[in-house]
Amino acid sequence: MLEAQGITVTFGKTTVLRDVSLRVRSGELVALCGPNGAGKSTLLAAMAGDFQPEGGQVFIEGAIITGLPPTELARRRAVLEQSPSLSAGFSVGELLSLSIPRDVPPERARVLIEKKLHAVGLADRVGDNCQILSGGQRHRAHLARVLVQLEAVDSRDTGYLMLDEPTSSLDIAHQITTMRIARRAAREGAGVLVVLHDLNLAAAFADRVALMQDGRIVADGAGAEVFTADRLSAIYETEITVEHGGGNTPRILPVYSPDAHAGLEL
């Protein structure tokens, strides 16, 4: 289990997370949702072990995550940042190979790379320089990289996949593909934590939703329980309706009013 206990994070004079606790179990997909500035990405980064919070601790399979050496941490969790970058002109295949431990046989490494590039729809781009890819294609290449990392060490039943807004630069078809990939990783045993702005994707794919506001988790449960019209309208400060389709999956619908320009100078 990946568990944050009483996490508090302060940047300068601003408290970004306030005594936040969250659990992600193996085989479970948890979506972190909430408005801009709610603390979602900071919580994911803390749970990834990127820094030591001012208050509280994060545990991964019982170990304090910030106490693990980088090589061990890389074997236990794979992280896709919100805006991954490259400092060199790697090919797509070379990018993926960076996440494979040296003790993995070359043939297995090759098969892993081909498998994950096929999953994200980039099988024909393995030799291309990452710099010539579109923004969405680069993001999918980085997704393939973390998927390779997770599988290369056979840690899917005790490992964790952490994705920060993995659908933000993608078209609709690739958004759905990305979430199906995340869902499959959970089905195969990984614990999956995903920051999402698209509430409908969260409702459709997540086992649980943790809804954040002002550095706190204000609701945690199944999407049908967390996503209520009154709660969402209050948190996002705009009128939102919620319908329920097949399987009681909520469908979140903002109410668009082109005449509502209160407070705006046009």
- Give Cα 247 to chain centroid, integer Å: 24
**Fold observed for domain 2-254:** Rossmann fold (3.40.50)
Question: Would the pLDDT of 261 be above 60?
Answer: no
Proportion of the chain above pLDDT 70, given as a percent: 95
**Can you give the length of the chain in residues?**
266
Which pLDDT belongs to residue 251? 94
What mean pLDDT value characterizes the chain?
Answer: 92
Give the domain ranges of the chain.
2-254
For residue 247, give both structure tokens. Answer: 């399987």
Q: pLDDT tens across 128-186, in order?
A: 999 999 999 999 999 999 999 999 876 556 699 999 999 988 999 999 999 999 999 99
Residue found by looking up tokens 């049908």 in the block = 224
Q: pLDDT tens across 17-26, in order?
A: 999 999 999 9
**Dihedral angle, C-alpha 167, 172, 131, 80, nearest 10 °:** 20
Work out the pLDDT band at 40, boundaries 50, 70, 90: very high
Q: pLDDT tens across 70-110, in order?
A: 999 999 999 999 988 777 789 999 999 999 998 899 999 99
Report the relative pairing of strands 160-164 and 77-80 from DSSP bridges: parallel
Give the closest residue to 27 by CA, choosing from 190, 210, 158: 190
Whether pTM > 0.75 for this model: the answer is yes
Which pLDDT belongs to residue 264? 44
Range in 16-25, 125-134, 188-197, 257-266 with the lowest mean pLDDT:
257-266
